[in-house]
Amino acid sequence: MMDRNSLIGMFLILLIVLGYGYLTMPNEEELKAMKHKQDSIALVDSLSKIKHVEIKQAVTDTVEKIQQLPDSLRDETAKKLFGSFYKGALGTEQFTTLENEKIKVTLSNKGGKIYSVELKEYTTYDSLPVILFKGDSAVFALRFPGQNKEINTSEFYFAPQGTSASVKGNETTSVAMRLADENNNYVEFAYKLKGNSYVVDVDVNVSGGQSMIAAGTKELAFDWSYKAAQMEKSRENEANVTSIEYMNTEEEYDYLSPTSDDEEKLEEKLKWFAFKQQFFSSVLVSKDGFSNPTLKVTKEPETSRNLKTLSASLTLPYSGKSSETNSFSFYFVPNHYSTLKSYELGMEQLVPLGWGIFGWVNKFVVIPVFNFLGQFISNYGIIILLLTLIFKIGLLPLTYKAYMSTAKMRVLKPEIDELNKQYENKDAMEKQQATMALYKKAGVNPLGGCLPMVLQMPILIALFRFFPASIELRHKAFLWADDLSSYDSIFNLPFTIPFYGDHVSLFTLLMTVTTIIYTKMNSDLQGSNPQMAQMKWIMYLMPIMFLGFFNSYASGLSYYYFLANMVTFGQQFLFKYMVDENAIHAKMQENKKKPVTKSTFQKKLEDMTKQAQAQQKAKKK
């Protein structure tokens, strides 16, 4: 048992321990500091364990937590996480604008990027501003290996070197976004905008790169992407032409698939590449060419307002000098043929006018006539009417020749029928020879009606490409159509009909009905023919098939084809009263009396036919 003195001693020791603990206990401020220190260590540890796919959101969350730390720990923690650029890791997003009469470019200090671009002269189908891209849907970043970790500029806050400005005329204004390290070395995006221009020039400046960028680095990675939003009434039509198109430094033009997901890693340098939609494009142009480009197109869900994600990754040269600059330009442009052609970069190919002869017809015939009429007439429905009349009058000689050939065939038909009866049970080749001999004597070319129609096809197909691609027709109303570049609708169906759609286009109906009437009229003019009878159902089926296709197509095109059919009806009735079939018949009879002269080609053809005939007879024996 302990004596009294021992108990008193232990009690005194306990009091001393408790008193010391009380006197040395941290106050509330010291407890907070200890907690912040622990949080700082935890933040550094947690970020090192984050997976790559989660890094963007994790960095955002981490920065928010760092900014809640006291001043004494904030910089220390940020430096551990972000290296020498730690000051740029902390901040709040702010915006700077460059603006002229055509475009408004909004710059964000977060990443120093182009945050959004608005084309001020245009609106979307639902009357909203045309904004090519905006906010987090756009990626604009430079990536390079730092001294201790990879640097991605999209994670940092840049310091604006300049203020918002609006320019007019030929004025030029500029704003630079600068990301500096602790030693005032920096990466900078310097933007320039001229008045009355769609072009934004960009200089990527690197100063003191030896201190920021890992030794041995030969190139800097550059990423640019955004989600292309729907701007036109027909989402399907717009999505089917939204893609990435490009031209290499050898002036060779190509594109990624506009109808499916696609990706290409290119070995050649690119002169420019474009994130292209139906009527607007964002084009990145380099004088020296972009190296190691990877281009990618990915479809967005049909329920989304966005059509596709368009992305590009490429490299910029870096040589390790104390100061370096890479320059390129953004062209935020409407897909207007004359505007794009004026840049002399081959960008006019972004307007799909067709390949070969069809493109030539559009470039050298359709567009010049269309632009000429547009100088005097503001109503594009009237312009299309005049365009139709000009082309139909220009093709009138061919149309008349086709009608005359049909008239001759119709006059000669009784003799052809008689010939068919005469050779009904005889060799088919003999019948063919006799028929061709009759044509020759009468002075009739059985293909005379086909050739003029074939010569008209380039214009018909060229216009098929021109109207849906013509930005001049965009949002231009005529009669019941509110947009000649898109479909017209007189009634919206409460359901969707397969291969037709969920609306009724009146111009398409008028085009289909008049095409069927024209087919019937043409069939009657040619008369009954066993071979034509077999094809007749196909001739009537084609307009019905086109009904479904054109129902969601540009109403300006359906309107043109409808007008063309109506003008053709007028021409046919005019020819009918002008042409005397009795005189044609008399002329044919006169032709039969004349000696038939055969060309060398005809003689060779007859000799070949006789040889083939002899071979057939030999086989039968």
* Domain-embedded: residue 598: no
Q: Mean of the per-residue pLDDT values for the chain?
A: 79
If one counts every other C-beta atom within 10 angstroms of the C-beta of residue 148, the result is 11
**pLDDT tens sequence across 118-129:** 999 999 998 899
Beta pairing partners, 306: 229
Q: Are both 160 and 256 inside the same structural domain? A: yes
DSSP bridge partners of 186: 180, 207
Structural domain includes residue 8 = no
**Domain for residue 618, yes or no?**
no
Minimal CA–CA distance to 416: which of 399, 395, 441? Answer: 441
Instruction: Please report the pLDDT score of residue 190 as a whole number.
Output: 94
Let me know: does 93 contact 109? Beta carbons within 8 Å.
yes
- Of 248 and 42, the structure prediction assigns the larger pLDDT to 248
Handedness of CA 78, 79, 83, 88 (dihedral sign): positive
Q: Are residues 78 and 180 both part of a single domain?
A: no
3-state secondary structure at position 284: strand
pLDDT, greater one: 56 or 113? 113
**How big is the chain by its Cα radius of gyration, in Å?**
38
Last residue within a domain, chosen from 45, 76, 91: 91
Condensed to tens digits (0 to 9), the pLDDT of residues 4-18 reads: 666 666 666 666 666
314 contacts 293 by C-beta, under 8 angstroms: yes
Residue 103 in this model has a pLDDT that exceeds 80: yes
- The Cα 586–Cα 443 span in angstroms is 12
> Which residues, other chains included, contact 150 with Cβ-Cβ below 8 Å and sequence gap of 6+?
143, 144
Question: 72 and 103, same structural domain?
Answer: no
Greater confidence, 73 or 148?
A: 148
- 333, 351, 369 - which closes a domain: 351
Instruction: List, as one string, the DSSP characters of 397-441.
Output: HHHHHHHHHHHHHHHHHHHHHHHHHHTTTS-HHHHHHHHHHHHHH
In a domain, 20, yes or no: no
For residue 620, is it within any domain? no
Cα of 598 vs its chain's centroid, Å: 55
Between strands 95-99 and 103-108, the pairing is antiparallel
Determine the average pLDDT of the residues in 358-370: 90
Same domain, 118 and 212: yes
Whether residue 223 sits in one domain with residue 104: yes
pLDDT at 51: 41
Same-domain pairing of 177 and 209 = yes
Domain that holds residue 87: 30-91
Residues 330 and 413 in one domain: no
What mean pLDDT is predicted for residues 447-476?
Answer: 80
pLDDT average, residue stretch 274-286: 95
Residue 336 has pLDDT above 60, yes or no: yes
Longest dimension (CA), the chain: 160
Tell me, yes or no, whether 522 and 405 share the same domain: yes
**What is the model's pLDDT at position 497?**
84
- Separation between Cα atoms, residue 487 and residue 484, nearest integer Å: 7
Whether 438 is in a domain gets the answer yes
pLDDT at 98: 92
Last residue of some domain: 351, 369, 402?
351
Residues 530, 497 within the same domain: yes
Q: Are 260 and 298 in contact (CB under 8 A)?
A: no
pLDDT tens digits for range 518-559: 877 766 655 555 555 555 666 667 778 878 888 888 899 999
Same domain? 195 vs 323: yes
HEC readout, 25-53 = CCCHHHHHHHHHHHHHHHHHHHHHCCCHH
Residue 58 covered by a domain? yes
**What is the rounded CA–CA span in Å between residue 214 and residue 221?**
14
**CA 272, CA 328: separation in Å to the nearest integer?**
10
CATH number at 293 reads 2.70.98.90
Please tell me the distance from the alpha carbon of residue 307 to that of residue 123, in angstroms, as a whole number.
17
Distance CA 250, CA 576 (A): 56
Average pLDDT estimate for 107-126 = 92
> In this predicted structure, what is the pLDDT of residue 517?
85
Per residue in 204-259, pLDDT tens? 999 988 888 888 888 999 999 999 999 998 888 899 999 999 999 888 999 999 99
Confidence of residue 57 (pLDDT cuts 50, 70, 90): very low
For residue 299, what is the enclosing H or E element? Answer: strand 280-299
310 & 404 share domain? no
Is 3 domain-assigned?
Answer: no
Domain match, 516 and 372 both: yes
- Cβ-in-10-Å burial (0-12, 13-18, 19+) of 539 comes to middle
Count the domains in the chain. Answer: 3
pLDDT higher for 166 or 327?
Answer: 327
Task: Give the pLDDT confidence of 370-411 residue by residue, as tens digits.
Answer: 999 999 998 999 999 999 999 888 888 888 877 777 777 777
